[in-house]
């Protein structure tokens, strides 16, 4: 607890406190019903600090989301290393995605409030930079270059949406096994065995 702290240290500490407090409140009450006075109180800073680090409330939300999307992408990468069996890698990545999205709050942040606050196009670009990219590359590796009845980017988007809905349903209390198996069944029909 030295009162002697370097400037980047102070800044990073308050930034982290704001991100953590904001994440917790956005998850608990949703973006719209969370006020900046609440956030700064939980983070034990003032609104001046918030508006010093972030342009506005959506900008803070965006920062929370990018962290979260990065964490999800990391978990997928760890599980679905693109080895010699691309089909197995896609299925492993699929289950890893559902596991990653079961971390409390992630569905609300990334799938519910995110599109409304930042717009579906910005969410799509965050997604394409993280989780969806893994899926697309997995499909390309598993399907090869021969002609197909569908475009890979389009099918990636459709499957990605199905993944999201599965995560939401599981979060809402549906049977996880039922949605996991339905999702795998869907992927297997798109990527035929060998």
Partner DNA sequence: CAAATAACATACAGGCTGTATGTATGCAAC
Partner DNA sequence: GTTGCATACATACAGCCTGTATGTTATTTG
Choices 5-13, 118-126, 138-146, 149-157; region in contact with DNA by CB under 7 A: 5-13
Interface with DNA (CB under 7 A), residue from 16, 28, 56, 66: 56
Interacting residues of 37 by C-beta distance below 8 A, sequence separation 6+: 47
Among 147, 189, 193, 194, binds its own copies (CB under 8 A): 189
Per DSSP, the residues of 4-57 read ---HHHHHHHHHHHHHHHHHHHHHHH-STT--HHHHHHHHTS-HHHHHHHSSSH
Residue 102 near its own copies by CB under 8 A: no
* Min dist. Cβ of residue 192 to its own copies (A): 9
Number of residues that bind DNA (CB under 7 A): 26
Two tokens at 12?
């990073």
What minimum distance in Å lies between the beta carbon of 121 and its own copies? 6
Residues in contact with 125: Cβ distance below 8 Å, sequence separation at least 6, in sequence order: none
Structure tokens at 10: 């102070």
The CA distance from 181 to 16, in Å, is 38
| In contact, 62 and 48? CB cutoff 8 Å | no
Among 21, 22, 25, 57, binds DNA (CB under 7 A): 57
Contact with its own copies (CB under 8 A) among 117, 126, 135, 143: 117
Establish if 151 lies at the interface with its own copies (CB under 8 A).
yes
Query: In the set 42, 51, 105, 162, which binds DNA (CB under 7 A)?
Result: 51
Contact criterion met (CB below 8 Å) for 26 and 12: no
Which residues from 69-98 bind DNA, rule CB under 7 A? Answer: none
Residue 46 binds what, of DNA, its own copies, none (CB under 5 to 8 Å, by partner type)?
A: DNA
């Amino acid at each position: 607890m030295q009162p002697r702290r370097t400037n980047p240290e102070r800044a990073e500490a308050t930034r982290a406190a704001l991100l953590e407090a904001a994440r917790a409140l956005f998850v608990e009450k949703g973006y719209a019903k969370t006020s900046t006075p609440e956030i700064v109180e939980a983070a034990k800073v003032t609104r001046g600090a918030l508006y010093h680090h972030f342009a506005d409330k959506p900008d803070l939300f965006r920062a929370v989301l990018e962290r979260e999307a990065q964490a999800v992408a990391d978990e997928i990468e760890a599980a679905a290393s693109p080895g010699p069996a691309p089909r197995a890698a896609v299925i492993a990545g699929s289950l890893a995605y559902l596991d990653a999205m079961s971390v409390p709050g992630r569905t609300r942040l990334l799938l519910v409030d995110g599109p409304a606050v930042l717009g579906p196009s910005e969410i799509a670009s965050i997604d394409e930079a993280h989780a969806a990219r893994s899926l697309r590359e997995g499909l390309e590796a598993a399907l090869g270059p021969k002609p197909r009845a569908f475009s890979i980017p389009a099918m990636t988007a459709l499957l990605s949406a199905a993944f999201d809905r599965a995560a939401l349903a599981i979060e809402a209390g549906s049977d996880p096994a039922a949605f996991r198996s339905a999702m795998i069944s869907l992927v297997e029909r798109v990527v035929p065995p060998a």
